[in-house]
Structure 1
């Protein structure tokens, strides 16, 4: 008798991978980002970091340049010998916005960052907590840092599908908002979307608990 357990697990992992990519590349994320930065005074923006989804960094970098910002990308195509110069220019304000993907996770510190936009994130707590830590690093003259975490929740879908996606997205919100000075304001924004599916408890669920539950379910398949 042939076992399909391994095949089923591989198919589910592939579906999860594709779903994660759809979430990270949700079109509205970029539109919201551009709208936020269009409404800022260009000369007042500095030390801003944007985490992009793979394949979108060139588009976002170009669009922000068109808006008048001094922006540079920071990805695997940037030579190692150039990266130090770019980070120094970013720290002193010559580069206002740095668009990055996962290579910035590889032990690179950007303590001068005062504002960060997470367009592409992950359900792995270790990764997104490390990213937050890089933004919150102490730096002379820096007392606060603002983090915009772009959360994607579907509409017009079944409760099970909504819960599946919310369970991947909301733990980041729960972790980030827990220590934010605008915690309660943030909860009033996100809460109504979860209340309609009786999932408001997700805002208080520790990300490692949710992550471990997801891993256990995969192991049972």
Structure 2
């Protein structure tokens, strides 16, 4: 019998050809079986393992049965600086122009081979992921934590500019410096630059409290358990559901003395000066598509949370009014 854990990886072209046909009994396991922007790979995978999902265990069931802990979910709307807003608008204009040449909406488009559009989307995603206001918001929110131990921070993979020196540094390093130098936490980064032995040591220090916080980019997305995590800040997230679903699974693991987890989600919306009613159809669809992907994550996280995202949690101010306004501006009230 073939049992494949994290089976979504096997849908990649380099793996599909290696799957043994001689084994008749096959079981694939995954929290995210559908491959992002790869319908063909998903279909091939489902066909090989039996053409369909035969059993599903939902997050709500896992929480109800005590397999995972309960959690509060708190989304925060982040504003771009004027300089960032200018770059964002220029990139959005480019994306809208390139998308207008395609016969389908950007959200459904096959980007394979369209390197110019992929590059523009990548640049805008990096801009959003490293928005300067996120670090200020993180610094503000830390003061509301009852305990600073077992804090996990997910960063973007881009760089930020130091306002005083003008030097650029990796977003993960700027976040570590903020938490260590400005707030005084015992913190370390957890990235691909650390060796396997170093990462194991960091996880042990995090669990026993020698380190209060870990700052990661993607190394804690999948396959690494950090059950002691009590508070998580998602400063940056891709639109790929696999990433944020896997992250949520890392955060909600049960741990002795852990009653619940708190997840803060940082959401960058189009600049306030962008008026949807003045956009042409392609520009509006481009902006709406980005917001819709962000709100899909909000909705998925909120569905199983102990709180509704527009409710106050532990005195922490939320962005409910901004979320409602955002849905109204882009005709997404149904979400």
- Shorter-chain TM-score bucket reads 0.7 to 0.9
Residue from 173, 177, 182 that aligns with 2:302: 177
Counterparts in 2 of 1:184 and 1:120: CA distance versus 1, 3 Å: closer
After superposition, give the CA deviation of every residue in 1:42-61 in whole Å (9 maximum; x if it has no partner). x8311000001112111110
Higher helix share: 1
Higher strand share: 2
Structure 2, unmatched stretches of 5+, are 1-100, 103-110, 158-169, 277-283, 312-318
Do residues 194 (structure 1) and 327 (structure 2) align? yes
Across the two proteins, how many residue pairs are aligned to each other? 197
Flag as ranges the 4+ runs of structure 1 deviating above 6 A.
4-8
**Contact 2:176–2:187 (8 Å) recurs in 1:** yes
**Contact 1:153–1:162 (8 Å) recurs in 2:** no
After superposition, give the CA deviation of every residue in 1:165-220 in whole Å (9 maximum; x if it has no partner). 2023111111111111221525844112221332222x3xxxxxxxxxxxxxxxxx
**Contact 2:222–2:246 (8 Å) recurs in 1:** no
TM-score (norm 1): 0.81
After superposition, give the CA deviation of every residue in 1:103-156 in whole Å (9 maximum; x if it has no partner). 222411101101100011111111110001100011111121000010111122
**Contact 1:53–1:101 (8 Å) recurs in 2:** yes
Structure 1, unmatched stretches of 5+, are 204-221
Partners in 2 of 1:14 and 1:193 — Cα distance? 26
Counterparts in 2 of 1:181 and 1:15: CA distance versus 1, 3 Å: same
Determine which structure has greater relative contact order: mean sequence separation of CA pairs < 8 Å that are 6+ residues apart, divided by chain length.
Answer: 2
Correspondence for 1:100: 216
Residue from 143, 146, 153 that aligns with 1:50: 153
Per-residue deviation at 1:24?
A: 0.6
Counterparts in 2 of 1:105 and 1:8: CA distance versus 1, 3 Å: closer
Do residues 166 (structure 1) and 281 (structure 2) align? no
Say which SS state the counterpart of residue 189 (structure 2) adopts: strand
Say which SS state the counterpart of residue 310 (structure 2) adopts: helix
Correspondence for 2:115: 10
Partners in 1 of 2:112 and 2:225 — Cα distance? 41
Correspondence for 1:78: 194
